[in-house]
Amino acid sequence: MTGVSIAGVGVAEPAEDERPSHAELLYRATRAALDDAGIEREAITTAVTSSYDYVEGRPLSNQFTLDSIGGVMKPCDLRLGDDGLHALAAGVSAALAEPGAVVVVASVQLRRSEHSEEARRVVQEISYEPVWLRPVIAGARNPEALSFGLRAQRYMAEHGVSEDDLASLVSRRSGLGSSAARSAEQILDSAVVAGPLRELHVAPPTDVAAALIVSTDPPSGKARGAIRGIGWSAVEGMLGLRDLGEDEATAAAARRAYEQAGIADPADQVDRVEAYNVYGIDELQAVEALGIASAGGAIDAVRGKGSPVVNPTGAQQSAGWARGPASLAGTARALGEMADGNGGGTLVSQGWTGCGGCSSAVAVIEVAA
């Protein structure tokens, strides 16, 4: 047990007819989190933010977020180029280092800050060049997807999972959000980006900001839940040095989180799992790495309706994918959904970052009823 509580959560998404700035959208999420926690800006001690310079197309992109999170004249210089759950891990560390401190953990991403399709591909080519040989990656439609395509090929061949199985999983998840819904047939008919992955396997982009407020001693005395355990881990970025049939980074992060939380049998002790599912195959491998299913058993586990429930609202395939805030927003939404008349319970949240998902973070949260 870490002794850190989540005092408040906030998620902000723009309306269809508006174009808020990064700063405005992040302010809305932070304001919502402060209101949820029952505190004002003056109570904030420090903050952790996450963003990706190469996605936004500007260096030190997080320097533009400090005013939005109430960080003016505060020691808020911890900024990560990582997924939101990695920022949560850093925020938990900050809260433990200064008991009683109020820490804002936040992230934001807008679709229009993404590069053009051509520029995005070139940036990914440069990023992945140490991992891929230039003749392999040159001209690839989605260089990152090559890594997940190889992961899918290895896993599916090893465990007898078919392309229909994977397309059906992505279709079910996407169908939980009306704007993202696509059928298995549509997925399989779309263009190949990295066989067996196709264009419509990839979660659609979205605009979102998310903020969580963590503290060992929430000033208002209320809390959404308690962080029982948190872990993060990274493995080799070089694909040839990894077992692509397994999500080794998530498995290592989960072991650390479960040890802190005192969880010996996650399949029996966890009520809900929020696992990253940007490419579909990442969900299957994460479910096994989290100990929810045995090797090759994830496809059956995610079809079930028992406990633990995996991605019941569709995760990124339904809500859309924004690098950075996606896992943080998913965690915040899950906290609300589990608490709103549903009795709370144990939530496990997971997110990846890095070359082919080589780094992962896992949080175990006891959600208040």
Co-location of 283 and 185 in the same domain: no
Domain match, 308 and 353 both? yes
- Same domain assignment for residues 278 and 342: yes
Q: Note whether 67 and 211 are same-domain residues.
A: yes
Min mean pLDDT across 122-126, 283-287, 291-295, 299-303 is at: 122-126
| 39 and 121 belong to one structural domain | no
CA distance 347 to 65: 28
Q: What are the tens digits of pLDDT across the range 122-163?
A: 677 666 766 666 556 666 677 788 889 999 999 999 999 999
The average pLDDT across 41-62 equals: 80
Residues 18 and 80 in one domain: yes
Whether 93 and 147 share a structural domain: no
Same domain, 82 and 36: yes
Query: Quick one: 241 exposed, middle or buried, by C-beta within 10 A (0-12, 13-18, 19+)?
Result: exposed
Pairwise CA distance, residues 260 & 247, whole Å: 21
- Which DSSP string corresponds to 27-84? HHHHHHHHHHHT--GGG--EEEEE--HHHHTSTTGGGGSTTTTT-TTS---EEESS-H
Does 189 reside within a domain?
A: yes
Residues 265 and 362 in one domain: yes
CA dihedral angle for residue 207, residue 278, residue 367, residue 107, rounded to 10 degrees: -40
234 and 124 within one domain: no
CB contact at 8 A, 106 and 18:
no
Q: Are residues 183 and 78 in the same domain?
A: no
Whether residues 77 and 211 share a domain: the answer is: yes
Q: Residue 59: which domain range?
A: 4-113+207-215
The owner of tokens 């190949």 is 192
**Tell me, what CATH number does 96's domain have?**
3.40.47.10
Q: Is residue 183 very low, low, confident or very high in pLDDT (cuts 50, 70, 90)? A: very high
**Structurally, how many domains does the chain consist of?**
3
Q: What is the reported pLDDT for 133? A: 60
Domain contains 220: no
In this prediction the pTM is 0.92
